[in-house]
């Protein structure tokens, strides 16, 4: 058998496998899957979420039963951010030839107004349905790269989901003494600012297990412009992702009060740890062994994003270092294989 034919068979079976596990299939080639992973991100915002999405849907060790496009913070909001996010995710999946495998949905278009004034969204109802399934054996992970509105609405609607789900969240300020404070350490972190009340509901009230990747950790996920330039020349997927990054200076220039984006030779793909922590783990002990975290009681989260120690808080993980080398090597390899397969099938 030729190498080319061998690769076609491998990747062809991988794409078929992705279709079979997208809705929560139990096995991959006879092996049980690691987890079911719900993806929630502001795909119409910072394009790092699109890199994460493209990478995640090519991973074979997890199933992705639900993709949610979420809203942006008020000063960036258009009133239809969630719809735009789900549309952008669908656009990317179509380019990848996976438009019929996944069907992204829009989350809530607004943050939670108050603790006493909220109502479920279609996305939060879908989260509850997935969490309460009795036919799925794999653990359920909620991989959030933006705000936590729809997860908080889901928990408020049905608190029983708390023990049935683990949150991996890209967001929150640096914990004191655990990393570089960042350029704006006295300001609420961006993803927290999308819906502070939702984050407080999850931290302060819910019993959901949290693995947090705060700003100091996700800011380490630097992808060089040279790598981006190479990726852009590999095919439609790479060109699309590069174009989304290239558009950032122009997009920011149209937002009142936002300073110009300075020239740089790297970009932060800060949502990519969602892939690392869910799929890139060893088989015998499926835990992210190449990443570093501190186990601690979940602190109380204040209105401004600061933390208050709480000795009786439930256990959580705060990640301080993510294996960026493994993450980006795997991402680029999966993109190359998928692109080669699409060329050979034409």
Is 27 a residue whose pLDDT tops 80? no
Q: pLDDT tens, 188-202? A: 999 999 999 999 999
What is the number of structural domains in the chain? Answer: 1
Residue 9: strand, helix, or coil: helix
Q: What CATH number did the domain enclosing 61 receive?
A: 3.90.245.10
Q: pLDDT tens, 41-95? A: 999 999 999 999 999 999 999 999 999 999 998 777 788 999 999 999 999 999 9
Residue 128: strand, helix, or coil: helix
Beta bridge partners of 38: 66, 142
Q: What is the pTM of this model?
A: 0.91
Q: Say how far apart CA 166 and CA 207 lie, in whole Å.
A: 10
Residues 6 or more apart in contact with residue 170 via CB below 8 angstroms: 144, 145, 146, 191, 213, 218, 270, 271, 273, 274
pLDDT value of residue 281: 96
Q: Are 338 and 96 in contact (CB under 8 A)?
A: yes
Please state, for a pLDDT cut of 90, what percent of the chain lies above it.
Answer: 77
Q: pLDDT tens, 167-223? A: 999 999 999 988 877 656 678 999 999 999 999 999 999 999 999 999 999 999 999
Is 288 a residue whose pLDDT tops 70? yes
Q: List, in sequence order, every beta strand (DSSP E) within 148-277.
A: 166-170, 209-213, 222-224, 266-268
pLDDT value of residue 12: 46
Q: Say how far apart CA 71 and CA 24 lie, in whole Å.
A: 25
Domain that holds residue 100: 3-345
Beta bridge partners of 292: 321
Q: pLDDT tens, 104-150? A: 999 999 999 999 999 999 999 999 999 999 999 999 999 999 999 99
């Amino acid at each position: 058998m030729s190498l080319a034919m061998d690769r076609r068979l491998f990747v062809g079976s991988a794409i078929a496998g992705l279709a079979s596990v997208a809705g929560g299939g139990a096995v991959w080639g006879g092996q049980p899957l690691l987890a079911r992973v719900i993806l929630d991100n502001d795909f119409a915002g910072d394009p790092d979420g699109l890199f994460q999405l493209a990478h995640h849907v090519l991973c074979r060790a997890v199933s992705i039963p639900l993709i949610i496009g979420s809203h942006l913070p008020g000063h960036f909001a258009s009133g239809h951010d969630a719809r735009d996010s789900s549309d952008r995710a669908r656009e990317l999946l179509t380019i990848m030839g996976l438009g019929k495998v996944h069907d992204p949905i829009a989350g809530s278009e607004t943050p939670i107004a108050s603790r006493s004034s909220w109502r479920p969204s279609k996305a939060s109802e879908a989260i509850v349905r997935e969490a309460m399934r009795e036919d799925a054996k794999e653990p359920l992970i909620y991989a959030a790269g933006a705000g936590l509105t729809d997860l908080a609405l889901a928990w408020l609607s049905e608190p029983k989901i708390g023990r049935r789900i683990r949150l991996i969240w890209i967001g929150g300020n640096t914990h004191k003494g655990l990393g570089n404070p960042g350029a704006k350490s006295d300001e609420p972190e961006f993803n927290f600012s999308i819906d502070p009340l939702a984050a407080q509901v999850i931290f302060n009230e819910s019993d959901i297990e949290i693995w947090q990747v705060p700003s100091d950790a996700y800011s380490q996920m630097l992808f060089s412009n040279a790598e981006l330039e190479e990726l852009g020349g590999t095919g439609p997927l790479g060109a699309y992702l590069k174009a989304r990054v290239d558009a950032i200076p122009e997009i920011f220039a149209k937002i009142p009060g936002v300073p110009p984006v300075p020239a740089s030779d790297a970009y932060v793909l800060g949502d990519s740890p969602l892939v690392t922590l869910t799929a890139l783990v060893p088989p015998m002990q499926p835990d992210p062994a190449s990443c570093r975290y501190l186990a601690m009681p979940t602190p109380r989260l204040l209105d401004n994003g600061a933390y208050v120690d709480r000795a009786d808080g439930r256990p959580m993980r705060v990640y301080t270092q993510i294996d960026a080398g493994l993450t980006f090597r795997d991402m680029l390899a999966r993109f190359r294989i998928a692109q080669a397969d699409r060329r050979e099938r034409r």
